Amino acid sequence: MSSIKFIHAADLHLDSPFIGLKHMPSNLFERVRESTFLSFSRMISLAIEREVDFLLLSGDLYDEDERSLKAQLKLKREFERLEQAEIQVYIIHGNHDHMSGKWIDLKWPENVHVFSSHSVEMKEYRKNDIPLAYIYGYSYPTRSLQENITSQYIKKENPSVYHIGMLHGSIEGSQEHDVYCPFKLHELIDKEFNYWALGHIHKRQILYENHQVIAYSGNIQGRHRKETGEKGCYLVELEEGETKSTFVSTEEILWEDVEISIDGLHHFSELLNKCETAIESIQMKAQPTCLTIALTGAGSLANTLQQQDIAQDIIDIFNERAEEHENFVWIVKLINKTYKKGIDAPKLSTFYTDLQKTVDDYHSFEEVINPLIKHPVYRKYFKEYTLEEQKQLLKEAEKLLQNELLQQGEIK
């Protein structure tokens, strides 16, 4: 069997709004807003440079089901670059860009192949008129697909080709993300495909690697502070009996976290110096970065940091200089996890443990916000919270409770 080479990517979320960053200076925000497009273009250049046979896009090409014309036109332009290089494109649509959405229908280049939303189908990849791969995929007909469809992925008997599955979904029982198109890992393994190109989970991970590979490529560009680190795609090479996958970063903007301790600090200027040193260290990476700072440790500065607007003042001090640097560092959030030295550390640890358990075991989110849901203003301006958004709100409530109790000296 001849070897093949392809790129596996997913969750492009082109034209993401980056709503939480609109207060940035306009020139910086424009760079962030264009980051998904720049990341995708970088990946297309990689495909051409490495002379891959095809590109797999495993769902959520767009951020919303009403695909913007801008996103479609930019996508079309990049696909045309691939067409000129004789590189094929295989696409499935996921929960964000499902097939029931509204959009202006464009004519795609001949090298673009979109999988059906009626049932799982197989598309044959041929090179020099010789079949080299059977690619199986399915596009979401609507946003919420709760059905396990793995039984529909039926391997067609042909030992002379590679078998590749494309699936946008998550493992059954997962608590990390909203569960769509659930599957059990052993179900995918049992298909004995050479490669499974998964989408939906924004963190890259290889679920299984033996004679076959089952992998999430993650998204190509982080979009908020929970999507830290390098983002990109997998460059995959299949040879008979061997699968080699290599991660290649494509992100335009990095999202990073850093912890800064107040242990041993007595003056506020010392804390500012530590913050500045951390920011300068990140700037040396020579890549624009959106940064979250977590202040930790115990000391007298904890009292100062409890004062109203102090956190925002620290953010403003450093963000005023961000425009001075091509590879800017923009602080998106400062989290205060410090506490006074007089607090009993064992009791504090027990308190944090008990509070964390309460948050983890919390299952009545809808009951709490039910009075809000009934309000006409809420119904008009707010959408339903996803599982991830619910968890984030609980985390914010947890931090507020910690700070309030510590400030009032309730833990002694």
What residue spans of 93-232 are helical by DSSP H?
185-190
The pLDDT value given to residue 76: 97
The pLDDT value given to residue 48: 98
Sequence spans of domains, the chain: 4-249, 253-341, 344-412
Cβ neighbors of 139 (< 8 A, separation 6 or more) are 59, 91, 92, 93, 94, 98, 99, 114, 115, 116, 117
**57-65 average pLDDT score:** 92
Checking if the pLDDT of 125 tops 70, the result is: yes
Domain 4-249 has CATH 3.60.21.10: yes
Least confident of 19-23, 126-130, 146-150, 244-248: 19-23
pLDDT above 70 as % of the chain: 82
pLDDT per position as a tens digit, 13-46: 999 999 889 889 999 999 999 999 999 999 999 9
Joined together, the tokens standing for residue 219 give: 């998204």
Per-residue exposure over 394-412, b if at least 16 CB sit within 10 Å of its own CB, e if not: beeebeeebbebbeeeebe
The order of strands in the sheet holding 329-336 is 254-261, 289-296, 329-336
Is 133 within 8 Å of 122 (Cβ atoms)?
no
pLDDT above 90 as % of the chain: 69
pLDDT per position as a tens digit, 333-388: 999 999 887 655 555 555 555 555 565 555 556 656 666 665 665 555 555 666 66
412 pLDDT band, cuts 50/70/90, is: very low
Q: What mean pLDDT is reported for the chain?
A: 88
pLDDT per position as a tens digit, 96-112: 999 998 888 899 999 99
pLDDT per position as a tens digit, 286-341: 899 999 999 999 998 998 998 888 999 999 999 998 988 889 999 999 999 998 87
> How are beta strands 54-58 and 88-92 bridged, if at all?
parallel
Cα gap 275→292, rounded to integer Å: 11
The pLDDT value given to residue 14: 95
The pLDDT value given to residue 109: 97
Checking if the pLDDT of 411 tops 50, the result is: no
Joined together, the tokens standing for residue 46 give: 């990689």
64 pLDDT band, cuts 50/70/90, is: confident
